[in-house]
Amino acid sequence: MNSFLPFTRPSIDEQTIAEVADVLRSGWLASGPKVKAFEAALSQYCGGRPVRSQTSATASLEHALLVCGVGAGDEVIVPAMSFVASANVVVRTGARPVFVDVDLHTRNIDLAQAEAAVSARTRAIMPVHLCGLPVDLERIYALAERHRLRVIEDAAQAMGSSYRGQRIGSFGDLVCFSFHPNKNITSIEGGAVVGGSPEEVHELELQRFHGQEKTAADAFETFFAGGKANLSDVAACVGLGQLRQLEAFNARRRELAARYFELWGEAAPLALPARGDAGHNWHMFAARLPLGEMRISRLEFIEAMAARGIGIGVHYPAMHLFSAYRALGYREGQFPNAERIGRETVTLPLFPAMSFADVERVVAAVNEVLRGVIR
């Protein structure tokens, strides 16, 4: 019998495990030399730009907003289709997330709607590279320049993606990555902000540790009531081990995604994701079910796949339909593409340790389940 195939799983090699053991034995577990080394390696990967790590991409996004001066009374344009952190961080600064719809096929922000949403209160726009497929950054930055907006790229899913031959994070305004266990590389939990002026980089350091700075061997100064989001050396050690494998991980993801497309061709019984180009890191393979033609629900499809030993994810519900955002006045029907994606999306297994036989197993199972339930 086949073992259970999850929709994702991190790959941690034995060398990294041994290096983590060395860190544990060193006695230096909090932010220390490994964090500095990880930030330096990330900086090199991103073309020498400044990098400041945090304990999550959520913290990274929130701190990026804060160093841009976003606060009470401001607005930030956010796509309605993303993980809810993209909106939550805006609310936590005191600002209002202004949702706009997304393209049904790419799932990325609709830039015409984004431009129409700009108001006198808009301070920033937060494009999300959903599933690792890069947003049209040329248009994003042109829009931002026209309206004098900051751009905070939610690149949580885009580690190793590139736009027109340039790595995401190697250019632009502030770019935020995630190293959660389901991302293309992990540091167990973690995130980073890439970019910023020297003053903003310094503020990012303060934001992640109580607004405090050591001014002498026996003296500290606290400039504001900051939080605590500094990465540990244990996490950074894992991140270093993962970063040296990133290109191989992403190359394998691209091969697996290509195999899905090859097996289904034009006969896929569900809507396959936008294929993109060689710059797509294939963080996730999120398709859409033909629910209007099916005699079962999405939940029943997920259960049928689980019965066949295959895990299915849901990424994501449309954010504006959560209670927290209905309370801000958002309602069903405002962003039909995001809502449709939220209803129909299913995330199929895709991670570097998979074999082509695993892909074939998923395709066969999907075909089998849907063949019996499509009207």
Q: Where are the alpha helices (DSSP H) in the chain?
A: 14-26, 33-45, 57-67, 85-92, 111-116, 137-147, 198-207, 233-243, 246-264, 298-307, 323-326, 336-344, 356-371
| Exposure on the CB side of residue 88, measured as CA atoms within 13 A | 11
Q: Of 179, 212, 243, which marks where a domain is finished? A: 243
Could you tell me if 358 and 267 lie in one domain? yes
- Residue 327 sits in a domain whose CATH number is 3.90.1150.10
How far, in Å, CA of 253 to CA of 359, rounded? 11
Burial of 366 (0-12, 13-18, 19+ CB in 10 A): buried
Is 316 within a domain?
A: yes
Q: Of 243, 271, 293, which marks where a domain is finished? A: 243
How far, in Å, CA of 357 to CA of 288, rounded? 22
How far, in Å, CA of 185 to CA of 238, rounded? 9
Which residues have a Cβ under 8 Å from the Cβ of 262 and sit 6 or more positions away? none
Could you tell me if 295 and 210 lie in one domain? no
Identity (one letter) of the amino acid at 276?
A: G
- The predicted pLDDT at position 375 comes to 75
How far, in Å, CA of 314 to CA of 312, rounded? 7
Which residue from 105, 101, 62 is spatially nearest to 80, judged by alpha carbons?
A: 101
Could you tell me if 261 and 180 lie in one domain? no
- Residue 26 sits in a domain whose CATH number is 3.40.640.10
- The predicted pLDDT at position 372 comes to 86
Interaxial angle between packed helices 14-26 and 233-243, expressed in degrees from 0 to 180 and rounded to the nearest 10:
160
Is 99 within a domain?
A: yes
Identity (one letter) of the amino acid at 74?
A: D
Which domain covers residue 349, as residue numbers?
246-371
Which residues have a Cβ under 8 Å from the Cβ of 208 and sit 6 or more positions away? 52, 53, 54, 55, 59, 63, 226, 227, 228, 229, 230
Q: Which two tokens stand for residue 46?
A: 């991103």
Q: Of 220, 243, 266, which marks where a domain is finished? A: 243
Per the structure, how many domains does the chain have? 2
- The predicted pLDDT at position 1 comes to 54
Could you tell me if 62 and 90 lie in one domain? yes
pLDDT in tens, the chain (375 residues): 579 999 999 999 999 999 999 999 999 999 999 999 999 999 999 999 999 999 999 999 999 999 999 999 999 999 999 999 999 999 999 999 999 999 999 999 999 999 999 999 999 999 999 999 999 999 999 999 999 999 999 999 999 999 999 999 999 999 999 999 999 999 999 999 999 999 999 999 999 999 999 899 899 999 999 999 999 999 999 999 999 999 999 999 999 999 999 999 999 999 999 999 999 999 999 999 999 999 999 999 999 999 999 999 999 999 999 999 999 999 999 999 999 999 999 999 999 999 999 999 999 999 999 998 987
How far, in Å, CA of 317 to CA of 339, rounded? 7
Could you tell me if 20 and 164 lie in one domain? yes
Which residue from 341, 340, 342, 320 is spatially nearest to 331, judged by alpha carbons?
A: 320
Could you tell me if 293 and 316 lie in one domain? yes
**First-residue to last-residue Cα distance in the chain:** 31
Which position has the token pair 């344009």?
77
- Which residues belong to the active site? 183
Q: Cα 5–284–114 angle (5° rounding)?
A: 155
Q: Which long-range contacts (CB under 8 A, 24 or more apart) does 269-275 make?
A: 269/366, 269/367, 269/370, 269/371, 269/374, 270/346, 270/366, 270/370, 271/344, 273/107, 273/131, 273/133, 274/105, 274/106, 274/107, 274/133
Is 9 within a domain?
A: no
Is 86 within a domain?
A: yes
Q: Which two tokens stand for residue 175?
A: 């770019």
CB 229 within 8 A of CB 208: yes
